[in-house]
Amino acid sequence: MNYSRNKLYFLAFLLALGLRFVQLGALPLSDSEAVWALQALQVAQGSKPLLGPQPGYILLTSIPFFIFGGTNFLARFWPALAGSALVFAPCFFRKQLGERPALVLAFGLALEPGLVAVSRGAGGMMLAIAFTLLAWAMWQDERPGLAGIFGGLALLGGPSLWAGLLGLGLAWAIAQGVLPPAGTESGAGGGRVRTEGVKTALTYGLGTLLLAGTLFFLVPNGLSAGLSSLSAYALGWRTPGVPARQLLGALLAYQPLALVFGAISAARGWLQDDRTVKGLSLWLLTTLVLALAYPAHQVSDLAWALLPLWALAAIELARHLRIPAYDRIEAAGVAALTLVLLIFTWLNLAGLSLLPAGSPLSTNRLLLLGGSLLLLLLSLALVAMGWTVETATLGGTWGAVIVLGFYTLGTAWGATGLRTPSGVELWNSGTRVAQADLLLQTIDDLSTWSSGNAKAQPVTISGVDSPALRWLLRDHEVIEAAFLDFSSAPPLVITPQTDELNLAATYRGQDFVWRQAPPWGYILPSDWTTWLVRRQLPQDSETIILWVRDDLFFDGQSK
């Protein structure tokens, strides 16, 4: 039985690997990612940059950069691996959750769209989440040494660690006054063993913090960067972020399966006085409130809340992973009916996204959508009265899980950014870099034509503050200038679209769409229907111009 269970956990791990590593380096790094990747590249090249408050990511990423060179794939490697390893954590909470809910949770974490998006981003958030949960799991499994190692790595994860720890701490404090006291370990040696475990965990944790935080003493300022993560988190309480409705919209759009069954599980747990469910509910509430109240919040800050949300949903879903004792054919029929009606509902929603708001056809679509949901509820009520409540419950749940499960898988694939490369995904933080590959290819081609080497020509950047642009040109000599000397004649110059180029030589210019982001303050309600189905929203674009000195072209060289 344990062998079969382990195979299922490994299957969840393979699923997580697939969603997190497929074409991991295909999309260009955004500005928010490139900030940290550039610091890792500088460390790998032997320079001593002033590290930002995510030393765990920076120092770990500098290792593959040193061996293989800087690439988009390697910039996202460690978060993707940590996000994949996260699916093993529920295995160590089987005593609290139960065997079957823990296994369901592992698959939930593997498919969770928000965690997939965070895992595919270059940064320390997923390292903080994964290492914190794994440290907790190792402590539960009475492995204090491993708990200390993971805890030490978590402390290097960056400002997001403190948001998670604050949510856990508040949930624990509230639980002390709300929940009945849990049973304590018996035995005279229990306290001594626990004390020895704390000492072991602290020893391993401090050792890991010292070695990993300094990259084996090669980068001493990594420790101070780790300490600065707390002040960086505190500074976020005075810095504005995205609108709170964007966080709520992302939660509703990406997590309907977890929300529906998590809410049912929470209600059932409080009615039945289930201590585990109550604790998870408090954890979910505190992390969600903190994410919404934090002024500098981004959609990715919801990642901490997804852990208790999916744990609650897994407990409820596990209740329905069984074959009914009677009326099996009837339950299968109810599942098929639920499946058909929910698919019909989605098709009406998809059709609605193609119609102008307020038109008679869109009104008809809305009526059909509401009518199909009403018909589903009426059908389940009739089955419960005509057969049994169990038949209606199991059949309806199976049908809903199949539809919402495929929807979750689809949104997880969308969260990778590969399904609609020009679309908008709420979980992908920062502005989207649009034509990075085209810009780099153009620069390489021009350099090859003029010198025979794709990386030979230096590039001057003036008036464009973009870490993503500096990362894109990492293999070129990049010169950043606040102002251009009128007497100079650099071969390649990148400026904003509004700037005029008045230099000593003649230049030709080509514009490129660089950054794109939706104008969140001007999005209409009708736009969200289109986004939900096709991930399309109006977008504001920032254009830059690549200026090329005339003599770099074939026809210019003959003049």
132-146, 193-207, 349-363, 454-468: range with lowest mean pLDDT: 349-363
User: Quick check: helix, strand or coil at residue 214?
Assistant: coil
How far apart are alpha carbons 422 and 438 in whole angstroms? Answer: 14
Tell me the two tokens of residue 86: 């996260």
Given a cut of 90, whether residue 206 has pLDDT beyond it is: yes
Q: Which of 287, 20, 55, 22 has the alpha carbon at shortest distance from 159?
A: 55
d(CA 56, CA 43): 13
DSSP helix/strand/coil, 508: strand
Residue tagged 């189905």 (tokens): 533
Could you tell me the pLDDT band of residue 558, with boundaries at 50, 70 and 90?
low
pLDDT band at 187 (very low <50, low <70, confident <90, very high): very low
Q: Which helix (H) or strand (E) holds 545?
A: strand 540-549
Distant-in-sequence, close-in-space partners of 424: CB < 8 Å, separation ≥ 6: 432, 518, 531, 535, 536, 537, 539
Distance separating alpha carbons of residues 403 and 400, to the nearest angstrom: 5
User: Position of tokens 């399966």?
Assistant: 257
CB 233 within 8 A of CB 159: yes
For tokens 């180029």, the residue is: 501
Percent of the chain with pLDDT over 70: 96
In order, the DSSP letters of 85-152 are HGGGGGGGGHHHH-HHHHHHHHHHHHH-HHHHHHHTSSSSHHHHHHHHHHHHHHHHTT-HHHHHHHHH
The DSSP output letter for 9 is H
Residue 263 above 80 pLDDT? yes
Query: What pLDDT, on a 0 to 100 scale, did the predictor assign at position 552?
Result: 87
- Strand, helix or coil for residue 208: helix
Could you list the beta-strand ranges (E) of 414-531. Answer: 432-433, 459-461, 478-480, 492-496, 507-517
Per-residue pLDDT band for 1 (boundaries 50, 70, 90) equals: very low
What residues form DSSP beta bridges with 548?
Answer: 492, 508
pTM for this entry: 0.93
The predicted model gives 231-256 an average pLDDT of 92
HSE, side-chain direction, 13 A CA sphere, residue 238:
4
Alpha-carbon distances, residue 514 vs 12, 203, 325, 367 (angstroms):
37, 48, 60, 42
* pLDDT computed for residue 186 by the predictor: 45
**Which residue bears the tokens 């030709």?**
508
Cα gap 135→89, rounded to integer Å? 9
Provide the pLDDT for residue 327. Answer: 75
Q: At what angle do helices 99-111 and 389-415 cross, to 10 degrees?
A: 40
Taking Cα atoms as reference points, which of 419, 482, 481, 492 lies closest to residue 457? 492
Strands 507-517 and 540-549: antiparallel
Model pLDDT for residues 283-313, shown as the tens digit of each residue:
999 999 999 999 999 999 999 999 999 999 9
Contacts of 33 (CB under 8 A, 6+ apart): 75, 76, 121, 122, 123, 430, 468
Q: Cα(276)–Cα(179) distance, rounded to whole angstroms?
A: 10
Question: Quick one: how far is CA 142 from the chain centroid?
Answer: 30
Candidates 78, 286, 24; CA nearest to 165 is 286
Q: Using one digit for the tens of pLDDT, what is the confidence trace for 482-528?
A: 888 888 889 999 999 876 788 888 899 999 999 998 887 788 877 88
Q: Determine contact, residues 362/352, Cβ cutoff 8 Å.
A: yes
What is the sign, positive or negative, of the torsion defined by CA atoms of 452, 456, 461, 467?
positive
Tens digits of residue pLDDT in 38-60 = 999 999 999 888 899 999 999 99
